[in-house]
Amino acid sequence: MAAEDEAELSLLECRVCFEPYGPDGQRRPRNLPCGHVLCGGCVGALSRRLECPFCRRPCGPAETSDCRPLLQLLELLGPAGRLSRALGGSGGPGAAAPAPAGLGLRLCLGGWGSLVNPTGVAACRGTGRLAVAHDGKKRIHVFGPSGFCLQRFGERGDAGNDVKYPLDVTVTSDGHVVVTDGGDRSVKAFDFEGRGVLAVREGFRLPWGLDATPKSEVILTDSEAGALYRLTADFGRGELKKCQMIRAQLVSPRAVAVCQTSGAVAVIEHLKTQGLNKGSTRVKIFSAEMDLIGQLDSFGLNLVFPSKMYATAVAFDKEGRVIVTDVCSQAVICLGKPEEFPMFNPLISYGLSYPVGLTYTASDSLVILDSGDHSIKIYSST
């Protein structure tokens, strides 16, 4: 598909007036009973005789409701969703500057048109492939170690294995790509050829972040339920074995990461959901037995370092240190091991626009998903 066509398919604009959605007023996305979405302004313009402009199903203004998955996506993407047209690829991945602290930019992938408002990235430790979730017609792109796109799958649509609103992605050790779909509140698994093997709903309210354990289990957050789940499945056979809630009473948990050596789990809580300007985040670390062993919030960090932090993604490096992306400083920051909190060591502080995803490859390269210029940036030790 041509880059221009993929760009036109962005879910973050009203398909009637083609203006971008926003969190307030006439730009707020609204659900119609038939499942299509319009902005509040178009709903108001059609209020006298409201019918869906796509399927012509009639409805009244009182039957419309906020489109929660899109509102959550707008909050996650922040300025990236609103600036996609203005960026137009002009600030593409080639504009990234080298990183300090012994890290050098090795490879840039994607860019506007190739990737549209990406939300999640994951590495396959066995093959070196990268899986990226984004807002194009084919929701999942798989890149090889050299940077070529090997596969695109996860069609936009309503079929069982289609992906409506991808929020995050992970790759299991047995080679399956697992995606959280905010559109129908499910978790879907595919093989690397794009064949759907499993769809799990299990009463999720809004499944968001996920990461795989070395045993191919999946740890995932439910942002609206405030819970953390462990999903055990035989993906090869398409069989769900167990979906267990392992932690409750979290505050809007989203990004999650599993330490591949200790089994510790890191979760980012969003303490307020009104938006980046008014909200704050908290990083919690749990042991493999799900005991709380460390936490750090923006307020506590600000007592020690003159820095405001809004974390959007989290990962563990090979030494078990906690690494986060921070959209306030447009940086990637090492917070240290839980017993060392609080540390504040910027690993990358230049060349990022709006980092929302983070992972490490088996060769210890640092992979950053930058939604600001719709790219993947891969850094290696120099």
- Report the alpha-carbon distance of residue 10 to residue 113 in Å, rounded: 10
- How many percent of the chain have pLDDT more than 90? 49
In a domain, 180, yes or no: yes
In a domain, 345, yes or no: yes
In a domain, 97, yes or no: no
Check if the beta carbon of residue 110 is closer than 8 Å to that of residue 152.
no
Place of tokens 């200790």: 262
Q: Which of 45-54, 94-103, 369-378 has the lowest mean pLDDT?
A: 94-103
pTM for this predicted structure: 0.75
Domain count, the chain: 2
Same domain, 29 and 117: no
In a domain, 86, yes or no: no
Higher-confidence residue: 192 or 19? Answer: 192
Q: 35, 60, 77 — which closes off a domain?
A: 77
CATH at 313: 2.120.10.30
Q: 33, 59, 77 — which closes off a domain?
A: 77
In a domain, 306, yes or no: yes
Same domain, 361 and 241: yes
What digits encode the pLDDT tens for the residues 119-162? 999 999 889 999 999 988 889 999 998 889 999 999 887 777 78
Same domain, 15 and 50: yes
Higher-confidence residue: 129 or 65? Answer: 129
In a domain, 160, yes or no: yes
In a domain, 327, yes or no: yes
* Confidence check: pLDDT of 88 > 60: no
Q: What is the pLDDT of residue 241?
A: 94
What digits encode the pLDDT tens for the residues 337-367? 988 877 888 999 889 999 999 999 989 999 9
Same domain, 73 and 114: no
Same domain, 161 and 216: yes
Is residue 76 very low, low, confident or very high in pLDDT (cuts 50, 70, 90)?
low
Amino acid identity of residue 325, one-letter, is: T
Place of tokens 């490096």: 317
Same domain, 69 and 107: no
Same domain, 45 and 170: no
Same domain, 166 and 37: no
Same domain, 52 and 133: no
Supply φ then ψ for residue 7, to 5 degrees. Answer: -65, -35
Distances, alpha carbon 69 to alpha carbons 28, 173, 223, 381, in Å: 12, 29, 11, 38
For residue 263, what is the DSSP state?
-
Same domain, 294 and 151: yes
What digits encode the pLDDT tens for the residues 6-45? 443 456 778 777 778 888 888 888 888 777 788 888 888 7
Same domain, 133 and 31: no
Q: What is the pLDDT of residue 40?
A: 87
- Report the alpha-carbon distance of residue 230 to residue 226 in Å, rounded: 14
In a domain, 98, yes or no: no
CATH at 58: 3.30.40.10
- Report the alpha-carbon distance of residue 267 to residue 177 in Å, rounded: 21
Same domain, 72 and 108: no
Domain extent, residue 65, equals 7-77
Q: What is the pLDDT of residue 303?
A: 67
